[in-house]
Structure 1
Amino acid sequence: MDGLTLALIGAITATLLSGIGSAIGVGITARAASGVLTEKPNLFGKLLVLLALPTTNGIYGFLISILILVQTGIIGGAAVDVSMNEGWKYLFVSLPVGIVGIFAGIAQAKAAAGAIYMTGKKPELSARGIVMASLIETYLILALLISVLIIFS
């Protein structure tokens, strides 16, 4: 195994783990939204924002994957010789956004599902629900920031 292979595993890991969190999260929120929409289909627009919140977890992982691929030259140029140390760095840099992405996606979906039910009962509270569910994203943004800082260090 060489450094480039480790970097590729890192790129895959960031997208894979955060994508799993997003997929589970969207499943949770879609289930909640479907239940509310059967009773109040006019709330679709308000519920769509809450339904979409967990998708950002996968986007952050994808962003880290793209940065890894650009830094190694796989995207945007010929692949450069990646040392084993750099390969390990790129593999480890995928872990914060990947691991936090799994847990944040699920936690954010649970909060968003609660906000969906709240919006179903009191539609005027939907903005408050969005804010509450969005707060969980703070931790994923911190993980993204750490990953980005390590990539460019």
Structure 2
Amino acid sequence: MTVKNAFVPANVGDKVTFKKTLTVAEQAMFTGISGNLGGVYVDRSKAKEAGLADMAIFELVAASLLSTCLSRLAGPTYRIASFSIDFAASMTVGTTVAATAQLSETGAGGQSYDLLLEADGTTLSTGKAVLVPIVAR
């Protein structure tokens, strides 16, 4: 029997990058989910008054792209146990964000990852995540 698309566990040093252009429609969806009506995120004129070219991307929307990378590296039986990220720069709607996660360590306590968000070669965010096996309760 041939198994198609079987998951292959990552090795230390393996990384995945996922790129996505973040849109106004996605801003609206996240506003609905989060209830965040912060002016620079939902109002172009307020964003421009703050010195941005367009509305700011919700930082957590950009960071959520990293979950795609993490799930592709860790596989379907792991979950995020901890997630830490520092935002170095603002991002605006229409920006293509490249999210990268790299497996840095693996052990009995789970898997550690280095996280990076970039746009046009500029670092937007760096961070760390730890994933652990999913345990049924």
TM-score, normalised relative to structure 2: 0.29
| Structure showing greater Rg | 1
Q: Which structure has the highest helix share of the two?
A: 1
Higher RCO, 1 vs 2 (CA within 8 Å, ≥6 residues apart): 1
TM-score by length of 1: 0.27
